Structure formats: C-alpha cells, structure tokens
Structure 1
Amino acid sequence: MFDYQLLRALEAVIANRGFERAAQKLFITQSAVSRRIRQLEQQIGEPVLVRSQPPVATPAGSRLLTHLQQVIQLEAALGMQSGDEDAEKNILAVRMAVNADSLATWLPRALTLPEQKFSFDFLVEDQSVSLKRMKQGEVMVCICSSDETVNGGKSVYLGALRYRAVASPGFLSAHGITETADLFRAPCLVFDHNDRTQHDFMREYADDEPEYIHWCPSSEGFRQAMLAGMGYGMLPDLQIEDAINTGELVDLFPGKYMDIHLYWHYWQSESPQLKALREHVVTSAQSYLQ
C-alpha cells in the first residue's frame, strides 16, 4: 500500500517544477522532499523522476501521478480529504491544463459556480499539447483540442473557439501591405513553438506559411502587440469584436476563419464537485463558443 505523503511529494515536485518550491508548498524542508522521493523509488524499485531542470516524471512516475489524481477524486466524492487546509474549509483544489485564449476570454465566467468552492491552479499551454499533462497525471482537468481520451479518463465537447487573421491599420500601412502576398515579408505573431494556428490558416487561404515571426506567449500581450502594430496573426472573435468594430484591427480575410474545437477532459473517478463544475462549464460554453 502506498504512503500518499510520498505521492504528494512527487506531485509537488512536478507541479512546482523543482524540489525547493515543492518544499515550500508542503511546508517541509527540501531534504525531506528528497527523502520522500527516494523512499517512493525504493518502494516501487525504479526512478519516478528524471532529475532535470525542471524535473520530469518517468513513465512509472506518471502512472503514480495518475493514480494520485484518481484517489483525490475518490476522497473528494467520499468527503475524506484530510490533512489539507483547503479541504478543511471545504475548498477543492483543482489543477487544470488550459489554453491561454480560453483563460483570457470565456473560461473565467464559466468556472464561476457560487455554490461550490474551488482553488484553481492553471497550467497554461497551447491547446494542441496540453493533453499530455492529463496523460502524465499532473492535472485533474484538461481543456484541449483533442477528443482522444486518456486511460482512465473521459472527454466532453465544449464547442469551437473561432479565430480570424487580423492586423492594425498602422501595421498594414507601415509594411505596405495591399494584398495577401505582401503578408509573407511582414512579421507574424505566434503564441509559442507549439502554436500552428497562423501557419495552418495561411497555408489554407494563402498557399504559404509565415517565416518572419515574433513569439509572444501571452494572450493579452498578443492582442496588445497586434494593436501596437508589431505583427499580424490569429485572434479569437471573443477578443477582437470591439477592435474590429472601432477599426483598431482589420480582418485580413473577410469571411474566412479557423475554428479550434475544444474538449473538457476529466477522470472517470470524478467527484460530485467536479461533476457540477463540468456540467456548468459545458452549459456556459454554449453562450461563448461556436
């Protein structure tokens, strides 16, 4: 039988990207965290961490993290969460992998459920890769663009976040852009190295991909950079409707758009609190997503 203090030490190291911050989170010393990880490895007879910077779970470590997430769900369902300050206050801690644009637009309203208390810990990644956090057992919930379910998990469709290619009038003037072909010598804004939205859209509607790129891993920063004329790129309708109406941004391909389909992933051992949250989010998403 596992000592769950050891599993929570592993979770803390992965979630906090290192032993020092894990120790702060658990209110123990860094050496105590290291000792718990060694004890866990001795119990199962193999490493649970690759001691890189930041540490990464081994396949065995990922299976243990998945197991821990499912146990946390069962404890919550049975009202058995103990030894945790938030649990004593009837607050369910929820670690969630989510894409930045959802977090910057529709999701905060959808997560507001007055009759339930949650403490959210958001892990922000591009929707194309965030499912790996679920596969590795690092999160309770994941919002991503894949409907592929992980072992022990389920998914439900939320809707589509609609994106359009836009730029500021100042940007178009400064770069002498009068037709689609002119875009390929101008800078394009891209969220991060996993983000292929701009590339896929331009390949479909302009037969080429952007090469001159600014990397901007911030949803609001992305919008501000676009308004400032740093580059063109793809933004969701929910972020640009006002700017389009006021003329601050120009739709570069009127009538053309790209829909990113989003799914809510959760564990089969879902607690009543997370079931209520999921149902509320699914209902709320209908008001914002396509």
Structure 2
Amino acid sequence: MMDYRALEALSAVIEHAGFEKAAQVLNISQSAVSQRIRQLEFKLGQPVLLRTSPPRLTELGRQLSNHLQQVKQLEQGLRVSDEPTAELNIRLAVNADSIDTWLAPALAACRDSQRMNFDLVIEDQRVGLKRMKNGEVMACICESAQPVNGGLVQKLGTLRYMALASPEFIARYRGKTQGHQWLQQAPCLRFSGDDQLQHQFLQALQLDAPGRIQRVPSSGGFVQMALAGLGFGMIPEIQVKHHLAAGELINVTPDTVLDVPLYWHYWQTESDSMAQLRHASAQQAARALLPL
C-alpha cells in the first residue's frame, strides 16, 4: 500500500523548492517531512529525492509524483460526484504570453470555473513540460507535442511572434545601417533565461546571439519596455494589435516571424472537470490563435 502522506511530502518539497517551506505548507515540522521521505525511500529501497539545492527528483521520484497527480484527479472526480459545490484546486503550467492573451477567457468559459482555484505556474513554453514530467501539475501548456509517460496531448494552435520596437528605438539604433546587423548590438528584451525566441529570431537572420540584453520577467512589462524604447523583443501579435495599428510598435523585419505551436498536456486519468477545462481552452485557442 502506497504511503500517500509521504508522496504529499515529496511533492511539497519539489513544489516549494525545499524542506522548510514544504513543512510550512503541510503544517508539520521539517523533521517530519524528512522522516516521511526517508521512510518512503527505506520501503522502496532506493532514493526518491536528490538532496541538492533546490532538491531534485530521481527517476523513481518522478514516477511517484506523476502517480500522485493522477490519483488526485481520480479523487477529484469522486468528490465532484459526491459534492457538486466542492472547490477544485487546479495547478496548471503555462507560458506567460498565453496568460496575457487568450487563456483567461478559456478558463472562465469552463462550466466549473466558478469553483476552481487556479494555481498558474509560469514557465517558458520550451521547458514547461518539465513540470508535467515531475508530477507537479495537473496539466501543461507548452510547445512540445510529445506526451509524458502516463499523459496525453491535444493541439491548441499557433502563437505568432514578431520582432517589435518603437519608432524612436529603430531610428536611434538602426540609423543608416543597411541590413539587419544593427539588431545584434541593439538592446534586446528577454523574458527569462529559458526564453530563446530572440536568439532564434537572430539566428534566422544569420546573426549571432544578442549583444545587449534587458531581462524583463513580465509579459505586460515586456510590452511596456518596448513601447518606452528600451529594447526590441519577440512579442505575440495578438497581444499588441492596437499598438501596431497606432504605429507605436513597428515590426523591424516584416518578412521574418516566429510561429510557436502550443499543446495542452494532460494525464490519462483526467477528471471530468479537467476535461471540461481542456475543451474550453481548445475552443478559445481555436478562436484566438492561428491553426497549427
């Protein structure tokens, strides 16, 4: 019989990047968290956690975390049938640009949304699937089409990115330069260390990596930095249509765009409520995004 208290402790340590915060969330002592995980490892005969900073799961630990997420969905389905008004805790890994563009109407359109408590984990679309692999989330929106073990995947659509900057920025940095060489030395906006869109864009122009980088870990702030003339960056077209129409932002290379595919990853043990959420998201994505 699996010790689910130990699995909850394991999940909390990974989710909160340490034993101390995990203990606070579980409302037990830090030593109790450690003891539960040690007992689990003793029972299984191998480690489930690497005691690094932050802690990392072993392969067995990932399998157990995935199992816990699937059990949670099964239990959620049972609670829903017994308690129609029960609150549902939904943990979803998603890229920031989806949150700032098309996702919110999708979540609101779900029939059970009024009793859902959303915990949105922001991860770049390139790496968000690691949260699913680690069993940290119930679902994930990312660019990978390959499902994780025990999971399935559904197509959503394509988010089109353009290299945008203010007219003043372009006039200041491009000057009389011919071609696109000026982009390599001009300040470039980057969301996080995982964000490679700017690098991919410059590579498509046969240029090297950005020479100057402004790190802006906010999707809305990213747009504001571009509007203020502090850098150029890859921004979703649907996020700034009015700025483009007003001439406040300009596509610096109209012939070069980046199309990022988005997929919804979910567990095979998906509950009815999560299925409703997935269908609502797919419908909204079909309206807001370009087809894959």
TM-score, length-scaled by structure 1: 0.92
Q: CA deviation at 1:36?
A: 1.4
- Cα separation, partners in 2 of 1:81 and 1:44, compared to 1, 3 Å: farther
d(CA) in 2 for partners of 1:114 and 1:71? 22
| 1:208 alignment counterpart | 207
Which shifted more, 110-119 or 133-142? 110-119
- Which letter maps to 1:146? S
Which shifted more, 256-265 or 109-118? 109-118
d(CA) in 2 for partners of 1:89 and 1:76? 12
| 2:123 alignment counterpart | 125
- Cα separation, partners in 2 of 1:89 and 1:12, compared to 1, 3 Å: farther
| 1:169 alignment counterpart | 167
Q: Percent identity?
A: 48
Q: Partner of 1:74: helix, strand, or coil? A: helix
d(CA) in 2 for partners of 1:246 and 1:80? 48
In structure 2, stretches of 5+ residues that fail to align are none
Say whether the 8 Å CA contact 1:75–1:81 is kept in structure 2.
Answer: no
Count residues in correspondence.
285
d(CA) in 1 for partners of 2:55 and 2:99? 26
Q: Partner of 2:264: helix, strand, or coil? A: strand
Query: Does structure 1 residue 66 correspond to structure 2 residue 66?
Result: yes
Which shifted more, 25-34 or 147-156? 25-34
The within-5 A match list for 1:42-61 is 42-61=42-61
Which runs of at least 4 in structure 1 moved beyond 3 Å after TM superposition? Answer: 176-179
Q: Partner of 1:111: helix, strand, or coil? A: helix
Q: CA deviation at 1:114?
A: 5.8
TM-score, length-scaled by structure 2: 0.91
- Which letter maps to 2:99? L
The within-5 A match list for 1:217-228 is 217-228=217-228
- Cα separation, partners in 2 of 1:112 and 1:259, compared to 1, 3 Å: same
CA-to-aligned-CA distance 1:11-62 (integer Å, 9 cap, x gap): 1111111112212211222222122112211221222211222211111111
d(CA) in 1 for partners of 2:81 and 2:207? 54
- Cα separation, partners in 2 of 1:126 and 1:170, compared to 1, 3 Å: same
| 1:102 alignment counterpart | 98
Q: CA deviation at 1:215?
A: 2.4
CA-to-aligned-CA distance 1:122-166 (integer Å, 9 cap, x gap): 221110111111112111101010100111110000000111111
d(CA) in 1 for partners of 2:174 and 2:154? 45
The within-5 A match list for 1:119-268 is 119-178=117-176, 179=178, 180-204=180-204, 206-209=205-208, 210-268=210-268
Q: CA deviation at 1:193?
A: 2.4
RMSD: 2.0
